[in-house]
Each structure stands twice: as C-alpha cells, then as structure tokens.
Structure 1
Amino acid sequence: MKKLLFTLLLIPVLVMAQGATEYAVIENGMITVNPTKIKEFEKGVAAHNKMFHAAGTYGARVYWISNGPNVGKYMWVMGPLTWSAMDARPAKAGHDEDWNANVLPYTMAEGNQTYWRFHAALSNFPKDFNLKYLKVMMLDVVPFKIEQFLEQLDKIATVMKSKYPTESYGMYTNEMPSAKEGGDFAYVDFFDKMGFLGREDTFPKDFEAVHGEHSWEEFISVMNETTKGTRTELWIFREDLSGLSSKVIAMERQ
C-alpha cells in the first residue's frame, strides 16, 4: 500500500476448505544458515520440501530476505492451515529425521518462528498471480492498544479495495506476540516486478478521497498513538528450494 503505509508478510489463504469454521494460520520460520554451508543447506532444504511439503495443507515455500538486519536469511513458509491441522503434521513418516540430518546441521542457532493469523475480510486477492516478490512490513503495537489499532484496518481496506482493486495484498496479526520482539501486525504486498516499488505514493490523497477531508491526519494521529515501530523487508521467492511453485490461483480462494 505504498511506501508511507504498511506493506508486509506472508502467503494468502487460498486453499482453505469451503465452509471451514476455523481461521487460517501461516507458519513462518526464519533460518540463519552457516555461511560456509550454504550449498549443503540449500540442497538439503530443497530435497526436504520436494519430499514432504510439495502439495496440499503442508505445502511450503522458501524466501530469501534481501535487506535489513535479516539480510541473507531464509524464510520457510507453510500454510495456510488451521490450528487443528497442526495436530497431524507432517503427513509422512521420516520428516523430522530428514530435517535433523539434512537441513538443521547447516543452520545457526539464530532462528525465529512466527504464526500469523490471516484476515480475509481485510485482504484482497482478485487475480491469479506469482509470488515472486513480497514487500513485508511488520508493526509493533503499543501494549493494550491492539483493539484501537485494529479498528483502523477497515479504513485501510476500504481505500485499497476502492482505489487499488486489482492489487494483491494480505493483512495478518501475530498469534503469539511478544512485547520484546515486536512484530504484532503484518501487511504484505505480493508483486512480480520490481517496478512496483518505484511508483508514486498517492495513498494519503486517496485516503482523503474515500474518507473525507482531514481524515488522513486523524488516521495518522491514531496510528502514532497505537504503534511504536516498524520493520520492512523484501522477500524474494526461491522456487528451487520450495515444495510449492510461485503460482497462486485466485479461484481456489474460499
């Protein structure tokens, strides 16, 4: 949603069963690889994903983080799936043994695991697209201000769906937030050409066109009261390391 606002994280819910009563969750595992063992890691994680995470509920994709303090790290992303589905993961015997033997030995003890709740009503996936690039921004929410913060998201979604109806983006909240680590909310732009990042930012003007004069100032005031920091990352899809392809079919969304 342009540079001034939030732009982040994770895979959209496009394969949830119709009529499901549970919400969807995305599992993100950030992996720091031993710099002397990158070749071995990539070989191991590619084989692992092709064997255990190549389709269905437990399908996984891998991204390379290209900027910021996490540059050079890998993001392993599984989902969407429900919490109930976690009880049956993984589906095949030998999963843990393969990970421990062929992936874990080449990593460093600097990882992080996050579970993100997908908010379908606030997100938009109007067309088929390729997950080549993700612009990921995470916001830290002031303690006990989460409800006030979440109330503002409807305003963002209204502008996006009115002014940018063909763009693909998702909004997510951290299921297990930490006051120390931050990253309570995530907004993700999904795009396939880097030129997307160079476009003029007209969101403030569009916001006032939808919500009225001075509405942008009021919105920013509330955001300043309810948030205390952001982090933006560009993730590049690594199809060679992933179980799933980059292609996402919008018609599968329920």
Structure 2
Amino acid sequence: MKKILYTLLLLPFLVVAQTNETLVIENVMLTVKSEKITEFEAGIAAHNKKFHAEGPYGARVYNVLNGKNAGKYMLIMGPLPWSAMDGRPSTQAHTDDNNKNISQYLEPEVEVNYMKMHPELSNFSKDFEINKVSVFMVDVKRFKSSEFMEKVVNKVVKVYKEKMPDQIYGVYTNELPNMDGLDFGWVDFFDSSSWLGKEDKFVQNFEEVHGAGSFAKFLADVEATTNGDSTEIWTLRKDLSGPNAKVIAAPRQ
C-alpha cells in the first residue's frame, strides 16, 4: 500500500517538549474493512482517548480525501525524539485493547513512516486549530537531497516568509530510506476548503522575491533534483483523536 508523507505524517505538533534531539512524527496509514468502518471508528476513538490522549504519545486521526489513498485513515503520533520511542504505551491492557477494538477491523496492509520536522524552515508562529491539511510529497532523486533542499526548498521558504507570512506550514523529511517517493513533505494547514480555490500567485511572488526570470531556473532545479510529486488533502477527525486540535505557537513552547 502506498504511503503518505508522513510524515508529513504526522504533522509537527510543536506542543511537545523542549529538547535538542531531532523530533519525528510517526505516520501510520490504515485501510479499514469496508463493512467494519463503524466498529473501527468506535474502537479507535475510545482507544486514543484512553491510551493516546496527550503528550508525545498523543495520536490524531485524519481522513484522506483524494488520490490512491482516498478513504483510508492516517494515524499520526508525536512529535517525539527517537529516545522516547521505547516508552510508548505497551502494557498488556493497551495491546489487548488494540487487538480487540482496532486491528481486527483492518486490512492486512499497514504502512508506517517516520518524518523529521524542520522547525528552522517551518512556520508555526501563531496558535491555531488543526482542521484540514494539504500534504505535498516529493520523490527526491538519489544523491540529490542536499541540492534539493538548497536550490528548491530554501527558495520556496523565502517566498512564503516574505509573501505569505501568516500561512502556517511544516517542512519534513523522511528519516528512513524508501523507494516510494516519500522523501520530502510540505504541509499547509488551512480551515476552509475555499483556501484551495484561492488564486495561485506563486510564480509572480517567486519572481518578486528572487528576481525577474528566476522561476525558469527554479523549474530547472526542480527537474534536476526530483522525480515527481503529489498532493493529498487530509481532514482531522477530532472525534477519533486523542489530543484536541489546538497547536501552540512555537515561540511560546
């Protein structure tokens, strides 16, 4: 089964811990048996509120709305450092509840990814409530990661900072090698679907920031460093999640 940039996957909830360690988000793509959706949703809602309600092990659930994964569920836990992974809920009660109320309603294929958040490139400068997210995933060419970050990502970040300073977004890279085109993720957070219908002024903004004619060179750099990209829209299922939807601004952490 195909995955989602999780990474992505899990969107950076800065509301966790002050630490110098790299923070990662665990993204788990779940495919539910079509005839067991009601049972699954009741089970995962109760499980998350009991075992994953807050802190670094808090788990949020999203519906995937488009693309090959439409109809699937994305479970996101974190962010947390790798050193905290071994401390995740693992009691017999947790295992029994998961097996009884969640796992039996799932199809066998489950995909897991671990996404590293880049706070220096992201913008979580104000409090907000998660509602909908646009997950832009990129397949980076082999041995081109550094060049991609320097010539593509950094330039896009500069455009966002100067032309869209109020847009909340997160930047992620996959912590583990993969052959599935999920090397990099850019996640935009938005409240209303009308956001998707806004006039696209990216090219105009890019050239205003980087100079006339710069966008053609930018496209050449994109082509030289990537194999392709895709976008998925996810919507948060507050009723199935443990923590609430509130994310606190980074400066207040």
Q: Show the counterpart of 1:69.
A: 68
Equivalent residue number for residue 170 of structure 1: 170
TM-score with structure 2 setting the length: 0.92
Q: Is the 8 A contact 1:13 1:120 kept in 2?
A: no
Q: CA shift at 1:32, angstroms? A: 0.1
Conservation of the 8 A alpha-carbon contact between 1:32 and 1:107: yes
Q: Which moved more, 1:61-70 or 1:93-102?
A: 93-102
Q: Shift in Å at residue 110 of structure 1?
A: 2.0
Contact 2:45 2:240 in 1 (8 A): yes
Q: CA RMSD in A?
A: 1.5
Residue equivalent to 1:39 = 38
SS of the residue corresponding to residue 71 of structure 2 reads coil
- Tell me, yes or no, if the aligned pair for 1:54 and 1:244 is still in contact at 8 Å: yes
Alpha-carbon separation, structure 2, partners of 1:31 and 1:166: 32
Mapped contact 2:66–2:233 kept (Cα < 8 A): yes
Which residue does the alignment assign to 1:246?
245
- 1:147 is matched with which residue? 146
* Deviation at residue 36 of structure 1 after TM alignment: 0.6
Cα displacement string for residues 13-71 of structure 1 (whole angstroms, at most 9, x for unaligned residues):
412333x2101101100000000100110011001100011011111100000111111
Give CA-to-partner distance per residue, 1:185-243, whole Å, 9 cap, x none: 00101011111100011111111111112221111101111111112111011011000
Give distance in 1, aligned partners of 2:109 and 2:213. 45
Q: Which runs of 5+ in 2 are unaligned?
A: 1-7
Q: After the TM superposition, which residues 125-204 of structure 1 pair with which residues of structure 2 at under 5 Å, given as runs?
A: 125-151=124-150, 152-179=152-179, 181-204=180-203
Aligned partners of 1:162 and 1:235: how far apart in 2?
27
- Contact persistence 1:61–1:77 (CA under 8 A): yes
Give the alignment's TM-score, normalised by structure 1. Answer: 0.92
SS at match of 1:122: coil
What amino acid is aligned across from residue 222 of structure 2 in structure 1? Answer: M
Tell me how far apart the structure 2 counterparts of residues 33 and 146 of structure 1 sit (CA, whole Å).
34
Instruction: Report the AA paired with residue 170 of structure 1.
Output: G
Kindly indicate whether the alpha-carbon contact (under 8 Å) linking 2:63 and 2:72 is maintained by their aligned counterparts in 1. Answer: yes
> Counterpart of 2:212 in 1: which secondary structure?
coil
Alpha-carbon deviation of 1:125? 1.3
SS of the aligned residue for 2:203 comes to helix
Q: Which amino acid is 1:39 matched to? A: T
Structure-2 separation of matches of 1:223 and 1:253: 35
Contact kept? 1:138, 1:185, Cα under 8 Å: yes
CA offset digits 1:60-96 (Å, max 9, x no partner): 1000001111110000001111101102111755212
Query: What is the CA-CA distance between 1:98 and the residue it aligns to?
Result: 1.2
**Who is 2:217 aligned against?**
218
For 1:94 and 1:22, the matched residues in 2 are separated by 30
Q: Please give the secondary structure, in 2, of the residue aligned with 1:171.
A: strand
> In 2, distance between residues paired with 1:104 and 1:130?
29
Q: Counterparts of 1:77 and 1:158 in 2: how far apart (Å)?
A: 28
2:53 — aligned with what?
54
Measured in 2, the distance between the counterparts of 1:92 and 1:178 equals 31
Tell me the SS of whatever aligns to 2:34. Answer: coil
Residue 16 of structure 1 pairs with residue 10 of structure 2:
no
User: What is the aligned length?
Assistant: 245
Structure 2 counterpart SS, 1:221? helix
